[in-house]
Amino acid sequence: MNVFFLSLLMASQQAADGASGGPSQFITSLLPFAAIIAIFYFLIIRPQSKKQKETKRMLDALKKGDRIVTIGGIRGVIQSVREGTVIVKVDDNVKIEFSRSAISTVESAAKEPEKIEENKEETPAKDAE
């Protein structure tokens, strides 16, 4: 029984000696945790928040005539913009209404397809000759 109390007394004495390191030991034990938090912030949280801000800015700047690609891969030209949705012209007589959040990227203005259509009209004329 004396051996048990003696071992408890020695353990408490060692704990008291270890605690005498004070604040410096506490700070050094927190450094790895601070480093992990900093790594998570700079590698995960910060880039994700930047991307969210950029996407919100892109969606707020949508206007009629912009060429877009949806998250499903549908490409078209915006015909009208509403508060939460946009109407996209996919083909000559096909218009689809999408939620703004379904838009993945904005490609360019609608003037480019007119140039492409002009080139298509010229091509068959050259083949006929």
Nearest 5°: the CA angle 80, 81, 83 is 145
pLDDT of residue 67: 96
The domain locations on the chain are 2-56, 62-128
pLDDT grade for 129, boundaries at 50, 70 and 90 = very low
Question: Kind of pairing, strands 75-81 and 103-109?
Answer: unpaired
Q: Which CATH number describes the domain made up of 62-128? A: 2.30.30
At 13-49, the pLDDT tens digits run 655 555 455 677 888 888 999 999 999 999 999 999 9
Type and span of the H or E element at 40: helix 23-40
